[in-house]
């Protein structure tokens, strides 16, 4: 019944987009969307053979997203999984690929932990984010490990121009509060920005408090007309109550996160292209303590990663580029559960693109990764775009891989759980075909995709009563996506997207967990200058298989309204789960009912 009702809503929303008169169209150079994630160089989305979406800073602000997970939740093919309310562990799946198969980066620096392979999106605030780019499909031909199913690149804001300060304060249901101070500016050759944020919540489930402080800063120095230096810093300290699931509650458990990131990048351009060198250091320290009287736990995991990247983008004639580079990374862990380990990765990549005609473009490349533990892996990709009348046809074929992580290899809790040092990387072959065009003044995009994955790593009983991982499964992820967007009237726009996904373990023909067959989103956004703006968004997630049980489908509706009070003071109202439905994103973790949040923002 729920799916039938949402299909009717989807049809109605699509009809509105196609049938209402459109606003007058005048595309300017500013309307051409440029991204960097798909090819590691700045390039128009219209030239790419792969599927990429962009969430801009103004969209993030209007949605009142508190973290990267919330900012991505309305995109096609994306399923966000949260273990309860704000502050709980939040992960992302893309086209059925798990969070360990999706690479997450900040300004091109990979964040995925070598311990778990995942990134908790709750720990990535978005107040200083310029935009988020999502590449759906494998990106290992440029980025290597973890980019089997997709790449998320979170790009931070660059300062510059007159000094500008913004202060905001928010409070809402479940004891939620948020205080933020940001400042940007520039003087001479120096551009700078920094952001300070304090966030807290009492949580929805028992023992689910959240208290976090985050800091970020970025400085860009122009050394001369052709070269620059960029220093970026991020810091997060968080305390989280760990509620556990309904069937396995942990009322005495607490987790502490201490994350630090620093990078230094040098860019230089010349008459034949651009080059950069980027060095970074990441530190992620986690402590977990459960004072359960029957099964107490007190453990810690200290991770750090040191990396260096070199890249050159050379112009080939008037219609081509050759991008090539080297990556080096060393991961270290000191853990009470895994021991002390070190792993190093050396990689080289190259990608060329050439416009054979003014309608036909080819992009081809590959990356070779050599790892100190699991050996080497080569990941190629070939893509083409072809313009036919007012349509853009695109297609690509590529490979991706996800390596075994430290906890797969070295977990050491005999006689219950033991890692497997002989694991091999998961790897995939992926295929994609897409069409983009305007239909009755509506931007439309249709995409078919398929990915076959081998050597899936799964934990299970090894036959001797010990829980251990093995390369035992194979999977097929296939489906299609439809995206429609239209400006209905000056200041009023709408969008609809739908994803059909068939994600199966091909050895047993069973559906993969947390991969709903049907998912969709629709929204209306309006703005009357700065005086009044708002948006109404609906997100549908169909019935899916959880870890231990089936999860019912749901449609969640959220409302946002913003009003300029006086001068540069804005009042923002957010209502999540407008119709107060009961739903789960992960089995065993009920999500909050209707919540209200009010924010006051002052810029000067």
User: Residue 3 pLDDT > 50, yes or no?
Assistant: no
Q: DSSP assignment, residue 39?
A: T
Decide if pLDDT at 13 tops 50: no
Instruction: Report how far residue 249's alpha carbon sits from residue 247's, in angstroms, rounded to the nearest whole number.
Output: 6
Least confident span in 32-36, 41-45, 116-120, 242-246: 32-36
Q: Six-digit token pair at 3?
A: 């799916």
Give the pLDDT mean for 120-125: 92
Query: Do the Cβ atoms of 577 and 594 come closer than 8 Å?
Result: yes
Q: What is the pLDDT of residue 264?
A: 98
Q: Which residues pair with 269 in a beta bridge?
A: 274
What is the reported pLDDT for 4? 52
Of 434, 486, 379, 547, the residue nearest 23 (C-alpha):
486
Extract the tokens encoding 187.
């003087």
- More confident site: 530 or 220: 220
Residue-wise pLDDT for 450-477, tens only, equals 999 999 999 988 888 899 999 988 999 9
How confident is the model over 51-89, as pLDDT tens digits?
999 999 999 988 999 999 999 999 999 999 999 888 899
Distances in Å between the Cα of 604 and the Cα atoms of 122, 132, 161, 162, 184 are 29, 26, 14, 11, 11
Tokens linked to 532:
């009044």
- DSSP characters over 492-520: EEEEEEEEEEEEEETTTTEEPTT--SEEE
Per-residue buried b or exposed e for 164-179, using 16+ beta carbons within 10 Å of the residue's own CB: eebebebebbbebebe
Whole-model pTM: value is 0.94
Contact 339, 410 (CB under 8 A): yes
> Where are the extended beta strands (E) located within 49-137?
51-56, 78-82, 90-94, 102-106, 109-110, 129-136
CATH superfamily name and code, 2-22+32-603:
TonB-dependent receptor, beta-barrel domain (2.40.170.20)
The answer to whether 306 and 327 are in contact (CB under 8 A) is no
> How far apart are alpha carbons 468 and 473 in whole angstroms?
14
Structure tokens at 88: 């709980």
- Calculate the alpha carbon distances from 171 to 60, 146, 592, 600 in Å: 18, 37, 16, 9
Domain ranges of the chain: 2-22+32-603
Q: How confident is the model at residue 161, as a pLDDT?
A: 92
pLDDT tens-place string over residues 314-370: 998 878 899 999 999 999 999 999 999 999 999 999 999 998 888 999 999 999 999
The C-alpha atoms of residue 358 and residue 287 are separated, in whole angstroms, by: 56
The 8-class DSSP code of residue 87 comes to T
**∠ CA 474-478-483, rounded to 5°:** 150
**Of the candidates 68, 53, 51, which has an alpha carbon nearest to the alpha carbon of residue 105?**
68
Report the chain's mean pLDDT, rounded to a whole number.
Answer: 92
Percent of the chain exceeding pLDDT 90 equals 83
Taking alpha carbons only, the member of 194, 171, 200, 170 closest to residue 181 is 194
* Peptide linkage before 508 cis (omega within 30 of 0): no
Task: Map residue 542 onto helix, strand or coil.
Answer: coil
Rg (CA), the chain: 24
- Residue 521, beta-bridge partner list: 497, 539
């Amino acid at each position: 019944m729920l799916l039938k009702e949402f299909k009717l809503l989807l049809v109605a929303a699509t009809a509105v987009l196609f049938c209402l008169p459109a606003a007058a169209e005048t595309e300017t150079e500013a309307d051409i969307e440029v991204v960097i994630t798909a090819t590691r160089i700045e390039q128009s989305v219209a030239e790419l053979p792969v599927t990429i979406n962009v969430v801009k800073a103004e969209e993030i602000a209007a949605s009142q997203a508190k973290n990267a997970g919330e900012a991505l939740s309305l995109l096609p093919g994306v399923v966000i999984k949260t273990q309860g309310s704000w502050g709980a562990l939040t992960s992302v799946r893309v086209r059925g690929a798990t969070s360990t198969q999706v690479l997450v980066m900040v300004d091109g620096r990979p964040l995925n932990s070598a311990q778990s392979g995942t990134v908790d999106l709750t720990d990535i605030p978005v107040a200083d984010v310029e935009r988020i780019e999502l590449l759906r499909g494998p990106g290992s031909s440029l980025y290597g490990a973890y980019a089997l199913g997709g790449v998320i690149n979170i790009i931070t804001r660059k300062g510059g121009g007159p000094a500008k300060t913004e202060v905001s304060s928010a409070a809402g249901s479940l004891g939620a509060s948020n205080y933020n101070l940001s400042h940007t500016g520039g003087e001479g050759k120096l551009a700078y920005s920094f952001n300070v944020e304090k966030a807290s919540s009492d949580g929805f489930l028992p023992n689910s408090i959240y208290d976090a402080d985050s800091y970020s800063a970025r400085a860009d120095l122009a050394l001369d007309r052709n070269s620059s230096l960029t220093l970026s810093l991020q810091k997060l300290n968080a305390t989280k109550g760990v509620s556990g699931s309904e069937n396995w509650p942990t009322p005495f458990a607490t987790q502490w996160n201490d994350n630090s990131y620093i990078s230094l990048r040098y860019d230089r351009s010349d008459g034949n292209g651009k080059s950069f060198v980027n060095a970074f250091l990441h530190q992620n320290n986690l402590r977990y303590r459960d004072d359960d009287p029957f099964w107490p736990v007190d453990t810690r995991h200290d991770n750090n990663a040191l990396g260096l990247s070199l890249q050159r983008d050379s112009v080939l004639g008037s219609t081509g580029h050759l991008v090539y580079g080297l990556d080096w990374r060393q991961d270290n862990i000191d853990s009470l559960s895994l021991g002390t380990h070190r792993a190093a990765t050396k990689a080289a990549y190259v990608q060329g693109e050439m416009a054979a005609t003014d309608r036909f473009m080819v992009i081809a490349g590959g990356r070779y990764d050599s790892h100190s533990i699991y050996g080497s892996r080569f990941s190629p990709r070939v893509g083409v775009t072809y313009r036919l009348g007012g349509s853009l046809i695109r297609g690509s074929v590529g490979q991706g891989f996800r390596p075994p992580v430290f906890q797969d290899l070295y977990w050491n809790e005999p006689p219950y759980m033991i890692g497997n040092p002989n694991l091999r990387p998961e790897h995939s072959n992926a295929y994609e075909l897409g069409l983009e065009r305007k239909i009755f003044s509506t931007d439309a995009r249709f995409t078919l995709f398929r990915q076959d994955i081998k050597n899936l790593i799964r934990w299970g009983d090894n036959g001797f009563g010990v829980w251990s991982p093995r390369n035992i499964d194979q999977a097929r992820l296939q489906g299609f996506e439809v995206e429609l967007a239209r400006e209905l009237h000056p200041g009023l726009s709408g969008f609809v997207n739908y994803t059909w996904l068939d994600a199966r373990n091909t050895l047993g023909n069973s559906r993969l967990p947390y991969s709903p067959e049907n998912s969709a989103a629709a929204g209306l956004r309006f703005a009357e200058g700065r005086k009044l703006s708002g948006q109404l968004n609906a997100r549908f997630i169909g019935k899916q298989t959880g870890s231990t049980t089936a999860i019912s489908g749901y449609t969640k509706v959220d409302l946002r309204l913003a009003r300029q009070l006086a001068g540069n003071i804005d009042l923002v109202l957010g209502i999540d789960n407008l119709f107060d439905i009961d739903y789960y994103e992960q089995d065993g973790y009920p999500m909050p009912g209707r919540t209200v949040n009010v924010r006051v923002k002052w810029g000067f």
